[in-house]
A and B are shown apart, each in its own frame.
Chain A
Amino acid sequence: MNASAPAGDPFEALGDPNRRAIVEMLGSRGRSVGELADALPISRPAVSRHLRLLKEAGLVVEEAQGTRRIYSLHDQGVEAVESYLTQVWGDAVTRFRLLAENTRPTKRAKGSKRA
């Protein structure tokens, strides 16, 4: 347990499709900025910016391998992401519940079976 508390918000960090794509690519193995940039429709500087944000959010770690810097997923960050997914469903269901519990059935739902 050597990680300090991340400065960034992992939920916010995952709010961007390019950053999600990076996280997905790092799911299989660690990669360099160049590898990521080759596979994504964005420039290397843009990839670097996204990686910095992901690092600040505690989702990604960086290590030197010779002259290259390799980025990979940070296990504890991944756990945070798991709870993020659960939260996303939870957000949707919370809103759904508010509506369902505060409205009345107007009519029989279309196509519903007879009881």
Chain B
Amino acid sequence: MIEPLRLSYEIACAPEHAFEVWTTRVSTWWPKGHSVSGNPETCVVLEPRPGGRIFERTPDGTEIDWGEITLWNPPRRLGYLWYIKRDRNDATDVELTFVDLGDGTTRLEIVHTGWERLGAEGPAWRDANTSGWSALLPHFVAAAEG
């Protein structure tokens, strides 16, 4: 098992609102240019429901899949397969938890796992190296860029 990438952020709003912004306004906050097409006019769509698709729609209407919602538990937890710029078989898993800290503050915890699912290169990656290279791989992208 490859070490998950774990990130944590505090957001000054209630979990309900944070969850809604994350899931219904992704096109507004997603960094421009972090897309497969690289076109700044690209629209990012997240279908807010279990099994919903996450994809980009370019100005000419082409849709390119980035992921698929696997866990839909508003306003606390959200999980999706993530394969922006990759084959779906190489998808990694992103899980978000919106923790209510009270006082209208939310802690957003992001856990990104599944690095071992990198197709043929996976086992090699796992063994490849010492400096935690494994944690990064497909994800340049991600957030990528994701």
Q: Which of A82-99 contact B (CB under 8 A)?
A: 82, 84-86, 88-93, 95-99
Whether A27 contacts B131 by the Cβ 8 Å rule is: no
On chain B, the residues within 8 Å of A84 by CB distance are 136, 140
A85 touches B143 (CB 8 A): yes
Encode contact with B along A66-110: 1 for CB under 8 Å, 0 otherwise: 000000010110110110111011111101111111011100111
- B17 contact set on A, CB distance < 8 A: 100, 103-105, 109
Q: How many residues of A contact B (CB 8 A)?
A: 41
**In the complex, chain A residues whose CB is within 8 Å of the CB of B7:** 86, 89-90, 93
Assess the A109–B34 pair: CB atoms within 8 A: no
- B125 CB contacts on chain A under 8 angstroms: 27-28
Interface size for B (C-beta < 8 A) is: 52
Taken residue by residue from 38 to 80, chain A's Cβ proximity to chain B (1 for < 8 Å, 0 otherwise) reads as: 0000000000000000000000000000000000010110110
Chain B: which residue is nearest A101 at the CB level?
B12
Over the window 61-82 of chain B, the binary record of Cβ atoms lying under 8 Å from chain A Cβ atoms (1 yes, 0 no) is 0000000000010110000000
Indicate whether B20 reaches chain A with its CB closer than 8 angstroms. Answer: yes
Interface of B is mostly: mixed
Q: Is the CB of A111 within 8 A of B48?
A: yes
> Given the complex, which residues of B lie within 8 Å of A96, measured CB to CB?
11, 21-22, 29
Known: A27-B125, A27-B128, A88-B140. A95 touches B13 (CB 8 A): no
Instruction: Write the nearest CB–CB distance from B134 to chain A, whole angstroms.
Output: 8
Q: Are B75 and A20 neighbours in the complex by a CB distance under 8 Å?
A: no
Bound state CA distance, A73 and B75, in angstroms?
Answer: 41
Residues facing A in B1-25 (CB within 8 A) are 5, 7, 9, 11-14, 16-25
Provide a sorted-by-A list of 9 A–B residue pairs whose CB atoms are within 8 angstroms.
A75-B130, A79-B132, A81-B133, A84-B140, A85-B142, A88-B34, A95-B29, A97-B12, A109-B75
Additional 16 contacts, C-beta under 8 A, given A85-B135, A88-B34, A112-B75: A20-B85, A27-B125, A27-B128, A28-B124, A78-B132, A78-B133, A78-B136, A85-B136, A85-B140, A88-B144, A92-B31, A99-B25, A101-B11, A105-B17, A105-B20, A110-B48
